[in-house]
A and B are shown apart, each in its own frame.
Chain A
Amino acid sequence: MNRQDLQTIIYAEKAKEQNNKYKHKLCVCCGAGCISSGSEEVLKKLQEEVVTRGLEAEVEVIATGCMGPCNQGPLIKFLPEYTIYQKVDCSNIKEIVQRQLIEKKPIEDLLLFADSRTKPFIDAREDPYYKKQMKIALKNCGHINPERIEDYLVHDGYHALDKVLFQMSPEEVIAEIKQSRMRGRGGAGYPTGLKWETVYKYVSPQKYVICNGDEGDPGAFMDRSVLEGNPHRVLEGMTIAAYAVGATKGFAYIRGEYPLAIKRFELAIKQAKKLGVLGNNILGTEFSFDVEVRIGAGAFVCGEETALIASIEGKRGTPRPRPPFPAESGLWGKPTLINNVETFAGISPIINNGGEWYSDIGTPKSAGTKVFALAGKINYSGLIEVPMGTTLREIVFDIGGGIQGGGEFKAAQTGGPSGGCIPAEYLDVKMDYESLTSLGSIMGSGGLIVMDQSSDMVDVARYFMEFCMDESCGKCVPCRVGTKMMHDLLKKICEEKGTRIDLERLEELAVYVRECSLCGLGASAPNPLLSTLRHFRHEYENRITE
């Protein structure tokens, strides 16, 4: 299929959308969160209800990806009104359809956040939860059917790829990405454009592009939602990257615990190949690029790029020392570009709107938006996307609806087992790479766990240490034995059996493990410990026996 063919399809789909016979679109969230609270049943019942009432000619019912507030699910959304109902039960579907579609009087008690707002918003976009957000990577998530490529095409899907292939040289693409000042969303925040340029510069007959979807931080589910809600966006980002760096083969490494993401991404690959936006001679050009899915088998360390590469190669998933970096010698020793799901999801908007547009969003050093997964003692847990530099207070209180049960905010844990805790006195910290690092935490991939006064910080540190201890690959000594030692010492302190000497040893080990470990897992494993020691040292001191 060539460019004209694709455009024909897009025009046809757009025309269909414009001359839509449907007056309403009813989106049912079928992200993993809502599915687990029964949204598939809701979807079925809604479809039946629409048919029973003979509304099938004017109401279209579709399954979409994540809408955001996961703990309020199952969620359904009526377009164009943008009215969202929460915690929809099969028993109140009849009433919802009756009131919303027939009587045009929404049931306020069932609207999104009805149980916590004095007056819920009929147009959910007015709600501070959505108002404070800015969706770039998650744009279209929750509006389109992720299992239909046509839905994506209508919303400017593969437009960026078309632009790149027909109007831009690889150098220009890289320049655009560099101008956007985008930084890798996997956690370390390495400038994306610079990484692309490095891979581009290595001359090799074979290069690879890898999408890292081995999201493993406890409480983090950004990548899952993007892959489930808009897989084509990621695929398009990968294809553009491949064009820019000169790769012909790509791998999407998705963790096995995300069956739905895997299913939808594989479907996306199939659809994209059929439409000629992936595979040989994409859109009739010389450029060919193919993507395969590789399923992670549940090792956290395989999120580390060199371990991930080893895993794709069919070896034991253990990291190797860098340098050489994958950009020079990656998959099967070839130059390899490896980016996170969210990074790839941000590529096509940059190409469509220009690097300058993206670089104007966020803070001077951290451009663009960031997806966070809110979890813990927060009222509205789920997925949000905000401009970089949004304060923690805005995220927790304005968007997240504050602490559950009116409790008091104690700390927010960012960056999962590699990150740290931010105490209440830093609630006004701007969420960007540098600010979080200066507080002893990290941006990480975007997990944000909110804790209230009932949280015991020593136990939090112990929990994350246990996680790292279990997930250490066992290759290098500092991580293999150091995390076990630190865990045992933390456990001892938790049980109030620890001494001052134990605390000293703990601190010494933490610095040792951070500096000596082979890969990022070990090097960042002491972060939760060090940051709780920094901000909550008294909680440790109180447990010490002399």
Chain B
Amino acid sequence: MPKISVTIDDKKLDVDVGKTILEICKESGIEILTMCHLKGLTDVGACRLCLVEIEGINKLLSACTTKIAANMIIRTKTEKIKRYQRITSELFFAERNHVCSVCVANGKCDLQKLGYKTEMDHIRYPYLFPECNVDTSHPWYVLDHNRCIMCTRCVRACGEVEGAHNWNVMNRGYQVRVISDFDTPWGESVTCTSCGKCVHACPTGAIWPKAIVQGQLEKKPEIIAELIEKRKMNL
């Protein structure tokens, strides 16, 4: 494969063409914060955590959706980017009702980890305290909108990998919600195959299996990519 040279965080690298900045960084051990990215799913650039500075481009670009190009000089950890990542993290927490102490994902939550990584010790913005439903109608799983960050990983896992298209998004602005079918209770969905991919794709405690309590949650988001790889195998 042809190689091109780029500079990321003052490190000169020879990398494959055709990959995204995020893929290159992951391969090269350069940490980039992400929330809506999940290996195996189409990247949408929604969480804005992976924004990087590229010399010669006057706006920040999301690493997950931007293809690397020759001679790019990329910076991933400038003071500005770190500051913005912390604000993003704060806005995630302030948007809905993330009460870690009563959450099933406490201690195993990507959102918590994001908070630690962005050194967010408190949230400077007023909490919005929206009224959010908890859908317990599915026999095995729960959807708790209080803990949803609208990364849409479940939507993409369901549509792109399972092909069921149970999940979608309704409303707009801060009132967006993930919905099952046409906003019917999850348990009454005619498209859901109960495959559980969304449970593993969900980075927080928004979708979780009913039979567990705090401390027992085990999510394996990597199974999405593994499944895709296994399907490619000629068995």
Contact = CB atoms under 8 A, between A and B. Distances in A.
A471 B173 contact: yes
A474 B150 contact: yes
Interface stretch (A119-127, A407-415, A433-441, A479-487): A479-487
Contacts of B126: 485, 488
A96 B174 CA distance: 55
Contact of A485 (B84, B91, B92, B150): B91
B177 to A, nearest CB: 9
Interface residues of A, number: 32
Nearest to B51: A516
A472 B65 CA distance: 21
Contacts of A518: 45-46, 48, 62
B154 to A, nearest CB: 15
Contacts of A474: 150, 169, 171-176
A484 B88 contact: no
B62 A321 contact: yes
Contacts of A323: 66-67
A475 B44 contact: yes
A321 to B, nearest CB: 4
A481 B48 contact: no
Contact of B46 (A316, A477, A512, A523): A477
Interface in B171-219: 171-176
A297 to B, nearest CB: 12
Contacts of A505: 124-125
Nearest to B128: A484
Contacts of B171: 474
Contacts of B169: 316, 474
26 contacts: A316-B169, A321-B62, A321-B66, A469-B173, A469-B174, A471-B172, A471-B173, A473-B173, A474-B150, A478-B48, A480-B95, A481-B92, A481-B94, A483-B173, A485-B126, A488-B126, A512-B87, A515-B59, A515-B60, A516-B48, A516-B88, A517-B48, A518-B45, A518-B46, A518-B62, A523-B59
A424 B92 CA distance: 40
A302 B87 CA distance: 27
Interface string A480-500: 111111001000000000000
A509 interface: yes
Interface string A459-471: 0000000000111
A477 B90 CA distance: 10
Given A470-B173, A512-B87, 11 more contacts: A321-B66, A475-B176, A480-B173, A480-B176, A481-B91, A485-B125, A485-B126, A488-B128, A505-B124, A509-B87, A515-B84
B110 to A, nearest CB: 14
Given A480-B150, A482-B91, A512 B84 contact: yes
Contacts of B128: 481, 484, 488
B61 interface: yes
Contact of A321 (B45, B92, B95, B124): B45
Contacts of B41: none
Contact of B61 (A299, A320, A321): A321
A316 B165 CA distance: 14
Nearest to A486: B125
